[in-house]
């Protein structure tokens, strides 16, 4: 509150100075005018910097009319709360579309919210609802055309590789692997810090990650499930090729920064040099 009082005082003084200096009708002449002027100018600047600069399709008229629509609404407590919840629901839908490529049906969203408000019995446990929302988002993303195509392409690729090479085996989880060289000694465990030389590619041969021939040290607990499973089958000095289906790799989210699409299969050539450091 103190910050706003200081801001208002400064705005008032500046507003008075502007009024005296040029006398134009656009100059703020009162405290209310000054506050409105500076808050309005501040938000206008924010819109220009944060919205218009990133959106080539920005429509000033549509934007202004919607701002005016909200600001002209009833300001009673229940009305304001309704506006706030409505904007939150809308922003949730926008964020899901932008970040997760998941589209919500706004009419149905409103329908079930309103139904819950009016009912004494139709209330869900909030923790249960949140877990179900996350699960359903994952399911919906897995049904996207790109995710479905990547699963199909991965299955066809692996089938072709196995037909050409009977030494490729598949575990119960779906991880496929080929032993190039077995190691010596005990198999690794989850807590081991393992020196690993690796190269990761997509099924089209594109390399997305590599240790560049140098050993990198990490634990099986810190890698995707398929890689972890592969490491735990190996011993020091081993070399395997791992064919990791999308569900055991980066799943429906993929790894866009690495160029890995949703449910994309990954192929790793993995070597585990004989020196490794168990966690004490």
- What span, in angstroms and rounded, lies between the C-alpha atoms of 137 and 188? 35
Structure-model confidence comparison of residues 35 and 137, the more confident one:
137
> For position 122, what pLDDT does the model report?
63
- What span, in angstroms and rounded, lies between the C-alpha atoms of 17 and 13? 6
The pLDDT of residue 15 is above 90 = no
The pLDDT of residue 141 is above 60 = yes
pLDDT band with cut points at 50, 70 and 90 for residue 2:
very low
Asked if residue 223 lies in contact with residue 198, where contact means CB atoms within 8 angstroms, the answer is no
Asked if residue 194 lies in contact with residue 278, where contact means CB atoms within 8 angstroms, the answer is no
- What span, in angstroms and rounded, lies between the C-alpha atoms of 245 and 249? 6
Structure-model confidence comparison of residues 148 and 52, the more confident one:
148
Residues with Cβ within 8 Å of 239's Cβ and at least 6 positions away in sequence, in order, are 179, 180, 181, 269, 270, 271, 272
> For position 24, what pLDDT does the model report?
46
Asked if residue 87 lies in contact with residue 67, where contact means CB atoms within 8 angstroms, the answer is no
- What's the mean pLDDT in 168-187? 96
Structure-model confidence comparison of residues 25 and 236, the more confident one:
236
Structure-model confidence comparison of residues 201 and 59, the more confident one:
201
The pLDDT of residue 251 is above 60 = yes
> For position 197, what pLDDT does the model report?
96
> For position 182, what pLDDT does the model report?
95
Please state, for a pLDDT cut of 70, what percent of the chain lies above it: 87
Pick from 80-94, 200-214, 251-265: least confident:
80-94
Please state, for a pLDDT cut of 90, what percent of the chain lies above it: 45
Structure-model confidence comparison of residues 148 and 98, the more confident one:
148
Burial of residue 184, with CB atoms counted within 10 A of its CB: 0-12 exposed, 13-18 middle, 19 or more buried: exposed
> For position 277, what pLDDT does the model report?
59
> For position 111, what pLDDT does the model report?
87
The pLDDT of residue 119 is above 60 = yes
Pick from 19-33, 207-221, 231-245, 265-279: least confident:
19-33
The pLDDT of residue 242 is above 50 = yes
Asked if residue 272 lies in contact with residue 205, where contact means CB atoms within 8 angstroms, the answer is no
pTM over 0.75: no
Residues with Cβ within 8 Å of 203's Cβ and at least 6 positions away in sequence, in order, are 153, 154, 157, 264, 265, 267
């Amino acid at each position: 509150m103190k910050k706003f009082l200081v801001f208002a005082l400064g705005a008032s003084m500046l507003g008075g100075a502007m009024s005296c200096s040029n006398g134009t009708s656009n100059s703020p002449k009162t405290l209310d005018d000054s506050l409105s002027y500076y808050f309005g100018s501040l938000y206008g600047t924010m819109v220009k910097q944060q919205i218009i600069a990133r959106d080539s399709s920005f429509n000033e008229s549509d934007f202004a009319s919607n701002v005016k629509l909200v600001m002209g609404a009833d300001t009673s407590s229940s009305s304001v709360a309704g506006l706030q919840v409505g904007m939150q629901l809308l922003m949730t839908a926008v964020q899901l579309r932008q970040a997760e490529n998941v589209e919500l049906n706004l009419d149905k969203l409103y329908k079930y919210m309103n139904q819950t408000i009016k009912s004494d019995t139709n209330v869900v446990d909030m923790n249960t609802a949140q877990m179900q929302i996350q699960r359903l988002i994952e399911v919906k993303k897995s049904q996207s055309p790109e995710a479905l195509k990547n699963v199909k392409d991965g299955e066809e690729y692996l089938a072709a590789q196995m037909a050409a090479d009977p030494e490729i085996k598949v575990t119960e989880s779906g991880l496929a692997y080929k032993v190039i060289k077995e190691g010596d000694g005990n198999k690794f465990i989850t807590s081991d810090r393992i020196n690993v030389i690796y190269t990761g590619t997509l099924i089209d041969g594109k390399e997305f990650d590599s240790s560049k021939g140098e050993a990198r040290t990490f634990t099986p607990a810190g890698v995707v499930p398929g890689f972890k499973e592969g490491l735990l089958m190996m011993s020091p000095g081993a070399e395997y090729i791992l064919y990791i289906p999308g569900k055991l790799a980066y799943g429906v989210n993929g790894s866009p920064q690495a160029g890995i699409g949703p449910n994309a299969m990954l192929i790793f050539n993995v070597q585990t040099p004989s020196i490794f450091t168990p966690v004490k």
